[in-house]
Chain A
Amino acid sequence: MNILYDYIYYAGAFGLIFIGIFTMMVKRNYIKVIIGLSILETGVNLFLISVGYISNGTAPIFSNPGIEAKNMVDPVPQALVLTAIVIGLAVLSLALSMAIRLYKHFGTLDLQQIKEQRW
């Protein structure tokens, strides 16, 4: 197996994470920063899921009596991701609500201009 196959999910996940961080680092628009955050969270979730994956695995549901337990993927990361998604959602909605208020107060979403609180 080549390395790419082994790590393709991880690479994807971390690729998203880095894109997210990079976006947050260089973008001045608050909405874009939120998008970066969202990408970052997605990346993290993807990473968590791929941690628990096993090759050729199935969902850990005993929907039929005959299902083998052997090939089931790790259920824990899935549970974690469920939580992480909800938390991400909460943060995101809060961030967006603040964006609304921010625009009302400052008339801009450019973070470089919103520097009243410094030093």
Chain B
Amino acid sequence: MNEMSILDPVLLIAIPLGLAFLIPLLGLVSKKIVRWIPVVGFLFNGIVALLILPHVLKQPIIVKIGGFVPPFGINLYAGSVGMLLASLIAITGFLVSIYAVKYITKGAEQKYHILFLLLLTGATGVVLTGDIFNLFVFFEILCISSYALVAYLGTRSGLEASIKYLIQGSIGSSFLLIGIGLLYGQFGTLNMADLARQIVDYTEPSVFVSMVFMITGLGIEAAIFPLNAWLPDAHSSAPSSVSAVLSGIAIEVGLYAVIRVLFTIFAVSNFFIFFMVLGVLTVLIGEMSAFAQKNIKRMLAYSSIGQIGLIVFAFSISTQLGVAGGLFQMVSHTLGKALLFLCAGYMIFRTGSMEISSLEGIGKKMPITALCFTIGTFSIVGLPPFTGFASKFMIIRAALANGELLLQILIGLVLVGTIIEGAYFFKIIQTIYFKGAHKTDNREEAPVTALIPMLILVSFIIVIGMFPNIIDKVLQPAASELLDQVKYIGSVLG
């Protein structure tokens, strides 16, 4: 326990928060040092999360904030899922903040770094918390910082996107709050485990209505199909480093929240069929919309919708394999999409335009970036030997292992989506390498601070893709944790 008190999961939230509060002070001392604060914070977080991760695989750590016993105080539930995502957030945050050191030059830099730090802190809070109102609060931290970050550049498109995002997002949070209020009114508690213990039948109208409000609210951030209209705007207009985090982390965290609510609090069963169909719909609409895009970041954003659909589908299978596959797909999407956005960031920066046609010949101009981009697309499409393949493999396996006809049809549709995805991504690759006249030979490679994160992400993608066993050891306990409601209740309430 002594060792564990040093490695308390609450540090993952407290330290970045403290650092965020510290930034304005440090900003008075030196402008340069501020840039490195998020790097330091996420490095710390990454190390702590990775150190804690092995401990939670068997038994989750319950952190009682303020020392109050769970139903009465807020608790953090650092299980395998939470810690997996927390590590992912920390690692991605670390890499993206390195990238941002040189990338963010315009606007109020200091404020960017605070917002960025808080965005990911909010995300960490969401994945770790065990209390629905606390979830709401961290969710708001996540949302508000992303509203601000989307508008950070102050461009027309950024503002427009941010406003639309804000309107939809705040409706979402209001719905979430209504749902929480309804639940509190009925069960008199806000603790997830306590709620889960008291809710026996989710189909009961009163419970169902509150559940619907909650998942609608969370689903907006998770970008499930009819609720995702903000996503392409926001992800394409934000600075690329932010897009990377929004696509890589924010929507995944939203989805995590939806899944946590559905699995742990309500323990839904038949409802997942609806979600499954929704997931496939999300895949198809996302990929089909992406197909005709001319703006590269918008295309990537729509592709994120498609990927989210796939993850939703995987979770909805609600078997051990399916949930593990969904988590794996989350990981591979985070790595892949973050990489793509980071690469796209400098590609856009160098060409000065987001049009895909302007990327012609960039493969010569910035060979390493282009290579990283290519590997990212391969991973997202699901080509071996990259992570995307391993995760897709797991999901298809889960879908087929179930043996239901509906699932088989749906996975077929998902694969159709994958083919469309392949088509447009390969078109971009052609544009990068093979289109346009052989005009400029002068290299304008991205700076080292940008290349390092890209290359690290690439190495992650390749290593995990070739040796998925590394992550499978975490995925399996994580999946069983999500599926096992009784154990969750037991470990929180004792």
Contact = CB atoms under 8 A, between A and B. Distances in A.
A109 B438 CA distance: 46
Contact of A91 (B156, B161, B170, B289): B170
Interface string A13-54: 000010011001000001001000100110010011001100
B172 to A, nearest CB: 11
B194 interface: no
Nearest to A83: B137
Interface in B367-412: none
A46 to B, nearest CB: 10
Nearest to B156: A105
B170 A37 contact: yes
B27 interface: no
B177 interface: yes
Given A30-B163, A102-B163, A116-B160, A94 B178 contact: no
Chain A interface helix/strand/loop/mixed: helix
B176 to A, nearest CB: 10
B468 interface: no
B151, B161, B166, B181 pick with most chain A CB within 10 angstroms: B181
Interface in B175-195: 177-178, 180-181, 184-185, 190
A52 to B, nearest CB: 8
Contacts of B289: 119
A117 B29 CA distance: 40
Contacts of B232: 117
Nearest to A49: B181
Nearest to A102: B159
A90 B156 contact: no
A87 interface: yes
B360 interface: no
A51 B148 CA distance: 32
B184 A76 contact: yes
A14 B65 CA distance: 33
A1 B232 CA distance: 51
Given A87-B140, A98-B151, A116 B159 contact: no
A84 B272 CA distance: 31
Interface residues of B, number: 34
B152 to A, nearest CB: 11
Contact of A94 (B147, B171, B180, B237): B147
A110 to B, nearest CB: 12
A59 interface: no
Interface residues of A, number: 34
Contacts of A72: none
Contact of B156 (A17, A80, A116, A119): A116
Contacts of B184: 48, 51-52, 76-77, 80
Contacts of A90: 140, 144
A79 B113 CA distance: 30
Given A44-B174, A87-B173, A80 B133 contact: yes
A24 B160 contact: no
Nearest to A95: B166
Interface string B143-169: 010011001001011011111101100
B435 to A, nearest CB: 23
A90 B181 CA distance: 20
Interface in B325-357: none
Given A41-B174, A48-B181, A77-B181, 4 more contacts: A20-B174, A37-B170, A94-B147, A111-B163
16 contacts: A17-B174, A30-B163, A37-B167, A40-B170, A40-B174, A41-B170, A44-B174, A52-B184, A80-B181, A80-B184, A87-B144, A91-B140, A98-B163, A101-B154, A101-B159, A116-B156
Interface of A: 17, 20-21, 24, 30, 33, 37, 40-41, 44, 47-48, 51-52, 76-77, 80, 83-84, 87, 90-91, 94-95, 98, 101-102, 105-106, 111, 114, 116-117, 119
List of 5 A-B pairs having minimum Cβ-Cβ separation, nearest first: A117-B233, A51-B185, A48-B181, A87-B140, A105-B156
